[in-house]
Structure 1
Amino acid sequence: MRIALIQTNPVVGDVQGNAARVEAAVRRAAVLSADLCLTTEMVLTGYPPRDLLLYSDFARRAAEGARDLAARLADCPPVLLGCIEENASGRGKPLYNAALLLSKGRVAASYRKSLLPSYDVFDETRYFEAYPGLNILELGGRRLAVTICEDIWNDAGFFEHPLYERDPVAEIGRAGVDALLNLSASPFTMGKHQAREAMLSAIARNLGVPVLYANQVGGNDDLLFDGRSCAAAPDGRIFARASAFAEDLLLVDLADLSGEVREPDLSDLEEVWQGLVTGLGDYARKTCFSSAVLGLSGGIDSALTAVIAAQALGPDNVLGVCMPSPYSSRGSVDDSLELARRLGIRTLTMPIADLMRAFDAALAPAFAGRAPDVTEENIQARIRGNLLMALSNKFGSLLLTTGNKSELAVGYCTIYGDMSGGLAVLADVPKTMVYRLSDHVNERVGGPIPREIIEKPPSAELRPGQKDQDSLPPYDVLDAILALHVESGLSVDQIAARGFDAATVARVARLVASAEFKRRQAPPGLKVTQRAFGTGWRMPLACRLG
């Protein structure tokens, strides 16, 4: 039996467009003599559709789209189509997360998801009813277990602390099957791919059957999907793998499991680079932007953002804006222009000294008797934000913010200023990773970032001689504390017990908590770490700890 794993990049809500992508891939699989096609989770609606699922018309359109697609594929091999399905029982949630079997021109059967994740970015119990049974497809003399994403992420043979009472993998083992199939939309985070393949290998060994895994690819809102659909042999060997961050079709022959994936997998930095480029490109395309604008400060964050934008959208579609103030160094402007020259992006220089004086004059009566402080510094950032938003509005370009995760975590950013924009490309990339990623990009794509930008001490340049380290701990210390606090959920005492200065840890934790109101008003950011300040971060604004 030859099974085609169809790895596509769906657009949420675009039922017709997603159906067309699936149809084209199925027809390619038919030419390759596939006996069955396996799509990814909810490919017809796009994943995740979130609260679109609360609208009954959305479910109706999905059902109609599935029936229409089945009719168009009547002359093709059967397809297991990721979709939603209405729950007609009258009990429980109104929908199932399902795999629909399209065969001989009709929707012939449905197979429903059992385990519904409700953690991090997932909220499936909000929409779906859990299916209590097993899904077994009998086709071509073989018994195939059909699972959907989370259904295989609770295997007691792999996970030390399973999240759910049920273990569908163990139930499948007792039922006896010839192969396990999984339709997935597993979001990307750095290093997750290795853990995912280790889990698939363990399941294949434990069951003694091949495991075939089809995963979504592309970016939807803040989530990235890396694809890398694959197949594991009964001995646990990964013998086939599809492309990373690109649409693909992987044909697996259950009669021949002798293949072996020989090419090395992506490094952590390379997969983050490819993920950010994919995420920005898809976000722009799926929200109907063809160009982007961003501020160029001469710093490493804006430089790396510009490189990603040029790669994702093409250099002709990127505008970098220099907005020097009286406190900006000459080198910052020159470095920005050199970066733009190397990238081939357009530039615009708009000095803000006159606008700063106009603000000072307008506020002078109200501020009489008060010394300049962070208020005036923030005004500079807000002037720049207003200029960039004006350019975005006038030219219909997507405004990219350039701040990193370290700054967003502790509030070292200005609301309505440098936080203004439509997408925060580096919002989940810590400052120390920004440096490592910049070096990686320079090696990979011909050195677009000048060494002067990488080597200069980071500074917002909002007052004479300002440096980030005047206000923050060294970034290597800050990022280590943030990783333990934000991503691992450790308390101040637990982090201090690992050798960090207790006062520094307590201060960082206070800054994280007090910056929550800023993050609530920040643009979406592309998720690349285990826990990002996005849809999976749900902290209260009004609270008092300790």
Structure 2
Amino acid sequence: MKHGYIRVAAATPDVKVADPQFNRENIVRLIREGIERNTKIMVFPELCLTAYTCADLFGQDALLTKAKEELKVIVKETGGSDLLAFIGLPWERDGKLYNTAAAVQNGRVLGLIPKTNLPNYSEFYELRYFEPGNKKPVLVSWEGYEIPMGTDLLFACKDIPGLVIGTEICEDAWVPNPPSIRHAVAGATVIVNCSASDETTGKDLYRRSLITGHSASLVCGYIYANAGEGESTQDLVFGGQNLIAENGLLLAESKRFGNETIYADMDLERLIHERRRMTTFPAPDRENYLVIPFTMEQVELDLKRRIDPRPFVPDGEAERNRRCEEILSIQAMGLKKRLAHTGCKDVVIGISGGLDSTLALLVTARAFDMLEIPRNRIHAITMPCFGTTDRTYQNACILTEKLEAELTEVNIREAVSIHFRDIGHDPGQHDVTYENSQARERTQILMDLANRFGGLVIGTGDMSELALGWATYNGDHMSMYGVNASVPKTLVRHLVRYYADTCEEEALKEVLMDVLDTPVSPELLPPKDGEIAQKTEDLVGPYELHDFFLYQILRFGTRPSKVYRMALAVFDKQYEPEVILKWLKVFYKRFFSQQFKRSCMPDGPKVGSVAVSPRGDLRMPSDAVSRLWLLELENL
């Protein structure tokens, strides 16, 4: 399982009520299919070997005996395979009948897990047939060897670090204190559930929410296999809704009302990292548990897992709009508090006609509206210099006017030229001194004007720029409150687009759309034929790649080779492998070397699960080296 990926499945076989042979044939067929697909864990429904709806037939010795006989056939069929299957069947022990799941691998039953919570309400009458399961494992003899039987069993893989499996059955997941909580606290990273949950109107929505919610609160993978077509319809219908979830994310779901097997590739490394990161997740406590070791060959998977190429941007227009509104509100609320606390009723913001300063101005206007401060106390400062184009200049002016802020123009060409003379720099040499002198002159003007107005300087730089260090130290790097500090570049674009779509003012929408259409640039080099000559993404790389890298590295601690593998999977049609590798190396080099800028970055609100503030998410030494990470990429 290179990079922690493991293929799992939830399978609903065709069944006939009280016909274990027919049911076994279909279970075996699905197991063989799973083996061909490199599946390592396959979960079947509750009591699938007999069918769940046998009712009083569970009291018939013939049925119980035949179920065990057919289990023996299944066990034999798994010989030579390391696929671990969980199969539901009734099991008699000491004169009592239990609703169990048999864990079967490589010609052996590793354990029997009895159902803990037996529903005996509404349409369910399980206490009529079954005994609640015992927690403490006991040994039962079968086919010449002893099998542990109890709810407190964990199956731990000796070959795959972190793969520990706990089991529950149907109703166990629906109770206030499900066994899965205990299993997860004991160290289970994957929970399997053999279920027979019938269909009623709207129940599928709750079931989906329940399973994904369990996977989120327990920080685990969850495989839920449900009974389907073939069960008795005397009073109920079973829809076969199978679900595979991982830490709140639904990886796969079957269509209802048709028996189906779903597959997904779980990321065990991600689960383990998340538990390690969360100091509130307890260390494993396996007291009273029996841990059953098993082996499993690690194989290279042709990854069949959806990886989001834009992890910071929600899918779907409705969800994206909801999230954009939420983020704009968080940004504005952060600024509102800072203004209220300091008593400032004026702010100064450098407006360039680019994306970041546009978003910062939109957020500032919203904060002023919240505080009922006139927008004309927002002092938007445009500071044209050698690289300013007419397009961005006009957009800055129009945007300020439409938002009813006060526009001030301070042309810095002469000041910067004098500065070049003072420090002995040749203005014809367009190097870092040439560029940064402009950025620092602008920051000086903003700071001094803030003093003059008795206000705050609002920072415009975004999180992607901070991650790459694409900011002039003590230039645009500095402000008195950075509203975009945890907003990545790919998200900035959607926030501005959302504002344009919802502002209900055609002229404002028009200028915002043109800002969106303008190449990202600091405009520090002279234009060529009136057009922007300095395009950021030509210099540091595409922001869609860097934001993808940033999310995987900071949110999940993903190692370089895995980040590269994931990027290949999602960007294979856009970038050649060598291009992706090139910019990934650039990201690591810049991310490490530019930490000193983030170590002294201004305050700003966190809006998502990733941020780079040294006071919050990223406490990283400024002199850490990137050698270890780059070496792994060199050795691919």
- Which whole-Å CA distance do the structure 1 matches of 2:464 and 2:183 have between them? 32
1:526 aligns with 2:605: yes
Alignment match of 2:471 (pick from 410, 413, 417): 413
In structure 2, the residue corresponding to 1:267 is in which secondary structure? Answer: helix
* Aligned CA-pair RMSD: 3.3
Shift of 1:379: 0.6
Alignment match of 1:360 (pick from 408, 412, 420): 420
Map residues 151-162 of structure 1 onto 2, 5 A cutoff: 157=180
Cα 1:479–1:201, aligned 2, differ >3 Å: closer, same or farther? closer
Contact kept, 8 Å, 1:492 with 1:506, in 2: the verdict is: no
- Which whole-Å CA distance do the structure 1 matches of 2:436 and 2:480 have between them? 20
Q: Deviations over 1:315-371 (max 9, x none)?
A: 23311000000220112111111101110111100000001111110111xx57994
Contact kept, 8 Å, 1:496 with 1:505, in 2: the verdict is: yes
Greater CA deviation, 521-530 or 484-493?
484-493
In structure 1, the residue corresponding to 2:540 is in which secondary structure? Answer: coil
Question: Could you tell me which amino acid in structure 2 is paired with residue 492 of structure 1?
Answer: P
1:536 aligns with 2:617: yes
Contact kept, 8 Å, 1:155 with 1:162, in 2: the verdict is: no
Provide the residue aligned with 1:182 in structure 2: none
Shift of 1:407: 0.6
Provide the residue aligned with 1:504 in structure 2: 583
- Which whole-Å CA distance do the structure 2 matches of 1:430 and 1:497 have between them? 22
Shift of 1:486: 2.2
- Which whole-Å CA distance do the structure 2 matches of 1:466 and 1:460 have between them? 7
Provide the residue aligned with 2:521 in structure 1: 459
Alignment match of 1:321 (pick from 381, 390, 393): 381
In structure 2, the residue corresponding to 1:416 is in which secondary structure? Answer: coil
Cα 1:297–1:200, aligned 2, differ >3 Å: closer, same or farther? same
In structure 2, the residue corresponding to 1:289 is in which secondary structure? Answer: coil
- Which whole-Å CA distance do the structure 1 matches of 2:454 and 2:585 have between them? 43
Alignment match of 1:484 (pick from 544, 548, 552): 552
In structure 1, the residue corresponding to 2:353 is in which secondary structure? Answer: coil
Cα 1:370–1:284, aligned 2, differ >3 Å: closer, same or farther? same
1:516 aligns with 2:576: no
Provide the residue aligned with 1:222 in structure 2: none
Shift of 1:444: 2.5
- Which whole-Å CA distance do the structure 2 matches of 1:378 and 1:348 have between them? 22
1:425 aligns with 2:479: no
Provide the residue aligned with 1:400 in structure 2: 458
- Which whole-Å CA distance do the structure 2 matches of 1:377 and 1:301 have between them? 18
Contact kept, 8 Å, 1:291 with 1:313, in 2: the verdict is: no
Shift of 1:488: 2.3
Shift of 1:163: 11
Provide the residue aligned with 1:310 in structure 2: 365
Contact kept, 8 Å, 1:382 with 1:418, in 2: the verdict is: yes
Contact kept, 8 Å, 2:439 with 2:475, in 1: the verdict is: yes
Provide the residue aligned with 2:110 in structure 1: none
Map residues 366-377 of structure 1 onto 2, 5 A cutoff: 367=425, 371-377=429-435
- Which whole-Å CA distance do the structure 1 matches of 2:182 and 2:415 have between them? 58
Provide the residue aligned with 2:543 in structure 1: 475
Shift of 1:531: 2.2
- Which whole-Å CA distance do the structure 2 matches of 1:265 and 1:406 have between them? 20
Provide the residue aligned with 2:403 in structure 1: 343
Provide the residue aligned with 2:102 in structure 1: none
Shift of 1:385: 0.3
- Which whole-Å CA distance do the structure 2 matches of 1:155 and 1:541 have between them? 45
Map residues 191-340 of structure 1 onto 2, 5 A cutoff: 198=213, 267-314=322-369, 315-340=375-400
Structure 2 alignment gaps of length 5 or more: 1-176, 188-208, 219-317, 370-374, 527-532, 569-576, 629-636
Structure 1 segments (4+ residues) deviating >6 Å: 199-203, 263-266
Cα 1:284–1:336, aligned 2, differ >3 Å: closer, same or farther? same
In structure 2, the residue corresponding to 1:399 is in which secondary structure? Answer: strand
Map residues 31-180 of structure 1 onto 2, 5 A cutoff: 157=180
1:436 aligns with 2:490: no
Shift of 1:372: 3.7
Q: Deviations over 1:217-260 (max 9, x none)?
A: xxxxxxxxxxxxxxxxxxxxxxxxxxxxxxxxxxxxxxxxxxxx
Question: Could you tell me which amino acid in structure 2 is paired with residue 324 of structure 1?
Answer: P
Question: Could you tell me which amino acid in structure 2 is paired with residue 376 of structure 1?
Answer: Y
- Which whole-Å CA distance do the structure 2 matches of 1:488 and 1:159 have between them? 25
Cα 1:318–1:492, aligned 2, differ >3 Å: closer, same or farther? same
Q: Deviations over 1:134-176 (max 9, x none)?
A: xxxxxxxxxxxxxxxxxxxx99856986699xxxxxxxxxxxx
Alignment length, in residue pairs? 304
Provide the residue aligned with 1:380 in structure 2: 438
Cα 1:514–1:200, aligned 2, differ >3 Å: closer, same or farther? closer
Question: Could you tell me which amino acid in structure 1 is paired with residue 540 of structure 2?
Answer: L
Contact kept, 8 Å, 1:413 with 1:419, in 2: the verdict is: yes
- Which whole-Å CA distance do the structure 1 matches of 2:601 and 2:551 have between them? 20
In structure 1, the residue corresponding to 2:479 is in which secondary structure? Answer: coil
In structure 2, the residue corresponding to 1:497 is in which secondary structure? Answer: helix
Q: Deviations over 1:60-104 (max 9, x none)?
A: xxxxxxxxxxxxxxxxxxxxxxxxxxxxxxxxxxxxxxxxxxxxx
Question: Could you tell me which amino acid in structure 2 is paired with residue 386 of structure 1?
Answer: Q
Contact kept, 8 Å, 2:420 with 2:427, in 1: the verdict is: no
- Which whole-Å CA distance do the structure 2 matches of 1:341 and 1:357 have between them? 30
Cα 1:278–1:158, aligned 2, differ >3 Å: closer, same or farther? farther
Question: Could you tell me which amino acid in structure 1 is paired with residue 598 of structure 2?
Answer: R
Contact kept, 8 Å, 1:531 with 1:537, in 2: the verdict is: no
Provide the residue aligned with 2:54 in structure 1: none
Contact kept, 8 Å, 2:593 with 2:623, in 1: the verdict is: no
In structure 2, the residue corresponding to 1:332 is in which secondary structure? Answer: helix
Question: Could you tell me which amino acid in structure 1 is paired with residue 410 of structure 2?
Answer: M
- Which whole-Å CA distance do the structure 2 matches of 1:163 and 1:419 have between them? 46
- Which whole-Å CA distance do the structure 2 matches of 1:419 and 1:385 have between them? 9
Question: Could you tell me which amino acid in structure 2 is paired with residue 413 of structure 1?
Answer: A
Contact kept, 8 Å, 1:323 with 1:351, in 2: the verdict is: yes
- Which whole-Å CA distance do the structure 1 matches of 2:185 and 2:489 have between them? 34
In structure 2, the residue corresponding to 1:385 is in which secondary structure? Answer: helix
In structure 2, the residue corresponding to 1:471 is in which secondary structure? Answer: helix
Shift of 1:543: 2.1
In structure 2, the residue corresponding to 1:463 is in which secondary structure? Answer: coil
Cα 1:161–1:302, aligned 2, differ >3 Å: closer, same or farther? farther
- Which whole-Å CA distance do the structure 1 matches of 2:320 and 2:582 have between them? 41
Shift of 1:487: 2.3
- Which whole-Å CA distance do the structure 2 matches of 1:159 and 1:516 have between them? 41
Shift of 1:417: 0.7
Cα 1:155–1:434, aligned 2, differ >3 Å: closer, same or farther? farther
Contact kept, 8 Å, 1:389 with 1:420, in 2: the verdict is: no
